[in-house]
Each structure stands twice: as C-alpha cells, then as structure tokens.
Amino acid sequence: MEFDFSPVIEYLPTLLQGVGVTLLIGLAVAVMSVIGGQIVAVISLYTRKVVNWPLRFFIWLFMTTPLLLQLYFLYFGLGELILIPAIVVGILGLGFHYMAYNADIFIATIRSVSSGQYEASRSLGFGHLNTLFYVILPQAFYRALPQLSNNMIIMVKDISVLSAIGIGEMVYVSQYAISVTFRPFEFYITIAVIYYLINLMMEAGQTRIERRAAYRR
C-alpha cells in the first residue's frame, strides 16, 4: 500500500476547474429549483384541476424515480429532439428533480400559513395576488428554509452524478486524470474531502440562515 498524491497536485488546476463547474451548477440549480419550486407550488395549489393535476403528477414522478434515470431520459430524449449542450441537460435535470422536491415543501408550508394571515391581509384591502406575494409566500418561504437548505445540501452532492452524462464537474475531470495516472484512490479521496468541506460550509451557512429566519416565523 503506497499512496502518491503527486498526480493529484499535478492535475490540481483541472480539479479546481471541476470544483468551479460543480459550484456554478449548484448555484444555477439552487436558483432554478427554489424559484421554480415556488411557482410550481403556487400553480398546483391555486389553479383548476386541468392545470394542477399534470403538475402534481410530474412532482410525484420526479420524486419516485431515480435522478440518474431522469438524467438519461433527458439526455437521450432531449438530445434527440434538439441540439443541446450536456451541461444544460444536467442543470435542467437536476433543476427539475429538486424543483419537484422543493415544490412539495412549499405546498406544505403555504398550506401551513394560518387563515388568519390571509384574513388580516384581506381586511387591509390587499387582493388575492397581493396577499399571496406580500403575506403568504414570504412566510411560506421562511418556514420552508430548514427543509429547503437540507435539499440544497443533498443537491450539491448529487452534482457528482452528472459526470455520468459527461459534464465536466469534479468527478468527470478526475476520471480523465485517473485514466492517465492510474491513481483512482488518491483522486476520489481528494474529491471526497472537497465535497466534505463544501458540505461543512453549507451546514454552517444553514445554521446561520436558520438562526436569522427563526424570529420571522
């Protein structure tokens, strides 16, 4: 048993590029899935069955099948219809997946805002939409924060799966380096460490965000 981390050092710039891609994808997916999740939740709560039933079906479908299968479907399905870069497929795939999970949370937290809040807002003269925007959704958002940030922490770990459809995040760029250097252990350990650090930072951020949001609930 002998470890040699010098290839990892040698490929560090490539690896760091992979980290950058991972973080960028994470940011894009977070924005897409949080905003999209809210929109999906609102639509599925406040529209007629014809509109919200298909939407609920998709939430359910995304939650009961594995991410990788969804990615393959998008990659090969969409790829057949239009020419589309893999990274877009990856962001969309991961985005839809977590949009479904986030929507599921928002549906619950929107429902949990008491009817008194709605009445108070209406009694001031706010209409349905204003009430939704100024009163219901902000509260639902603060209540969703703990689960939402949990989802985002899980999501970032799932970015590694995108290597399966050839997106140049950490795992994918290492696979190339491994094929040249034959040092899988060293590279995967390094990736695990980087992920662990990202995870620790996100957990610290989560605690801070939640502390700040707690008194607004």
89 and 71 in contact (C-beta within 8 Å)? yes
- The span from the CA of 153 to the CA of 198, in Å, is 9
> Which of 6, 11, 15 is closest to 193 using CA atoms?
15
Residue of 23, 108, 122, 176 interacting with other proteins (CB under 8 A)? 122
Residue closer to other proteins by CB (options 11, 142) is: 142
| Contact yes or no for 29/37 (Cβ under 8 A) | no
Q: Is residue 128 a contact residue for other proteins (CB under 8 A)?
A: yes
Q: Which of 5, 47, 85, 119 binds other proteins (CB under 8 A)?
A: 119
Q: Does 138 bind other proteins (CB under 8 A)?
A: yes
Q: Residue 6 has which token pair?
A: 């010098």
Give 45 or 158: the residue with its C-beta nearer to other proteins: 158
Using CB under 8 A as the binding rule, the residues of this chain from 162 to 201 that contact other proteins are 164, 171, 178, 183-189, 191-192, 195-196, 199-200
SS3 at position 2: coil
Residue of the chain from 57, 117, 207, 208 that contacts other proteins (CB under 8 A): 117
- CA trace torsion 31, 34, 30, 51 (10° rounding): -90
Separation CA 122–CA 110 (nearest Å)? 16
Residues of this chain that interact with other proteins (CB under 8 A) are 1, 3, 61, 64-69, 72-73, 76-77, 80, 114, 116-117, 119-128, 130, 134-135, 138-139, 142, 157-161, 164, 171, 178, 183-189, 191-192, 195-196, 199-200, 203, 215-217
